Homo-oligomer: A and B are copies of this chain.
Amino acid sequence: MNFYAVIMAGGSGTRFWPASRQKRPKQLLCLTGRRSLLQQTVDRLSPLVEPRRILVVTGRAHAEQVGDQLPELPPENILAEPQGRNTAAACGLAAAWVARRDPQAVCLVLPADHLITDETLFVDTLRRAAELAAGQEVLVTLGLTPHYPATGFGYIETGPTLDPEPPSISEVAAFHEKPGLATAREYLAGGRHLWNSGMFAWRAGTLLDELEAHQPLLAQGLKELAPALCGPDQDAALERIYPDLPSISVDHGVLEKSSRLRVVKADFGWSDVGSWEAMAELWSLDQQGNACQDGPLVALESQGNLVSAGGRLTALLGVEGLVAVVTDDVLLIAPRSRCQEVGRLLEELKQRDQEEYL
């Protein structure tokens, strides 16, 4: 069985502004240590997949930086979307690319901007999912054991357990959208719901079959693309065909409609690194709960602040619960509790035509 890894690096979120920018989205940032989230994603696949079998699907604006960060990948393995068309198209494109080489090969689909703490368990879980996808020709999702009643993720409701040996395999009873807090608490208490991680395993051919069944227009477009993939005309064909593909998520467009589904329960430490606030769990804290990513800290009567000061000394006196970020051209200060609102600052900058800061 051949494995391919498909890294989904199309994000252009604003929640790590001003560190993340339109031209340098979160997955390209070094938020923990010296390797970017994208590079860490590739690094942790090394026991499982060799570089020539790793694909990255990314936006055209970021393809060059992706290539610079991953010099070990052949250039044709970086698939540059001329325009974002959501995850069904991105997964389909990657499956079509892999199928040109080996339709039986398994694609492991992984977001580029997550953090994993137990990498050994991560690799074991992926291997389990890949074997399942290969053996039974099913679409496999990884479902994360919830640790708190999160309202920011979709949930997978598990059906009957098919193999209790961890990482356990179950049928999928249903997908649920992001719940309210009360529902999230019920999910957590019930023990049958898992976070929808955005990590998948399937044979290239299986996904293409399911697209054919449930997204025929998309499947048609991919067939037109296929002959150019892995070759010198790849970019030109993408340019011509990709922007017209239907835009729908792989969850809505395929998984929720498919009857060939399995979920593997994933229990490796995981974070989607959703905002500066999430960094409090990932960076080391001083005795007052201040976290300072990349430089020394001197803090007096200051608690629970999160600072990324670009290697500078951070000096705090009498401040509490702030996020502060210094980049080459921006200083951001906000309460941690409001760091999800930085998008409002970006709106304001847009209105003022100060696009250079976006």
Where the two chains meet, the residues of A that have a C-beta atom closer than 8 Å to any C-beta of B are 18, 296, 298, 300, 305, 307, 309, 312-319, 322, 324, 326-335, 338-339, 341-342, 344-345, 348-349, 352, 354, 357
The contact of A319 among B18, B315, B322, B341, by CB within 8 Å, is: B322
Prevailing SS type, chain A contact patch: mixed
Q: Is the beta-carbon distance between A315 and B354 smaller than 8 angstroms?
A: no
Q: How far is the CA of A349 from the CA of B296 in the complex (A)?
A: 11
Q: How far is the CA of A341 from the CA of B316 in the complex (A)?
A: 11
| Copies of this protein chain in the complex | 2
- Closest residue on chain B to residue A17 by CB atoms: B315
Q: Give, as a whole number of angstroms, the nearest-CB distance from A51 to chain B.
A: 38
Q: How far is the CA of A327 from the CA of B309 in the complex (A)?
A: 10
The contact of A331 among B18, B307, B342, B344, by CB within 8 Å, is: B307
Contacts of A322 in B (CB 8 A): 319, 333
Q: Is the beta-carbon distance between B313 and A357 smaller than 8 angstroms?
A: yes
Contacts of A316 in B (CB 8 A): 332-334
Contact status of A348 and B298, CB under 8 A, knowing A331-B324, A333-B319: yes
Contacts of A312 in B (CB 8 A): 326-331
Contacts of A357 in B (CB 8 A): 313
Q: Is the beta-carbon distance between A331 and B348 smaller than 8 angstroms?
A: no
- Closest residue on chain B to residue A339 by CB atoms: B317
Q: How far is the CA of A333 from the CA of B306 in the complex (A)?
A: 12
Contacts of A335 in B (CB 8 A): 317-319
Contacts of A354 in B (CB 8 A): 296, 298, 313
Q: Is the beta-carbon distance between A318 and B338 smaller than 8 angstroms?
A: yes
Q: Give, as a whole number of angstroms, the nearest-CB distance from A16 to chain B.
A: 13
Q: A313-B329, A315-B345 are in contact. List 10 more A-B contacts (CB 8 A).
A: A298-B348, A312-B330, A312-B331, A313-B349, A314-B330, A318-B334, A318-B341, A319-B322, A319-B333, A319-B334
Q: How far is the CA of A309 from the CA of B325 in the complex (A)?
A: 11
- Closest residue on chain B to residue A320 by CB atoms: B335
Q: Is the beta-carbon distance between B333 and A298 smaller than 8 angstroms?
A: no
* 3 smallest beta-carbon distances between A and B, as pairs: A317-B334, A309-B331, A315-B332
The contact of A330 among B313, B319, B331, B339, by CB within 8 Å, is: B313
Contacts of A329 in B (CB 8 A): 312-313
Q: How far is the CA of A333 from the CA of B349 in the complex (A)?
A: 24
Q: Is the beta-carbon distance between B317 and A331 smaller than 8 angstroms?
A: no
Q: How far is the CA of A327 from the CA of B331 in the complex (A)?
A: 11
Q: How far is the CA of A104 from the CA of B203 in the complex (A)?
A: 99
Q: Give, as a whole number of angstroms, the nearest-CB distance from A67 to chain B.
A: 29
Q: Is the beta-carbon distance between A345 and B317 smaller than 8 angstroms?
A: yes
Q: Which of A313, A319, A322 lies at the interface centre, i.e. has the most chain B CB atoms within 10 A of its CB?
A: A313
Q: Is the beta-carbon distance between B315 and A18 smaller than 8 angstroms?
A: yes
Q: How far is the CA of A12 from the CA of B34 in the complex (A)?
A: 38
Q: Give, as a whole number of angstroms, the nearest-CB distance from A325 to chain B.
A: 9
Q: Give, as a whole number of angstroms, the nearest-CB distance from A349 to chain B.
A: 6
Contact status of A344 and B309, CB under 8 A, knowing A319-B333, A332-B315: no
Contacts of A341 in B (CB 8 A): 300, 317-318
Contacts of A330 in B (CB 8 A): 312-315
Q: Which of A309, A330, A349 lies at the interface centre, i.e. has the most chain B CB atoms within 10 A of its CB?
A: A330
- Closest residue on chain B to residue A323 by CB atoms: B317
Q: Give, as a whole number of angstroms, the nearest-CB distance from A247 to chain B.
A: 31
Q: How far is the CA of A326 from the CA of B308 in the complex (A)?
A: 12
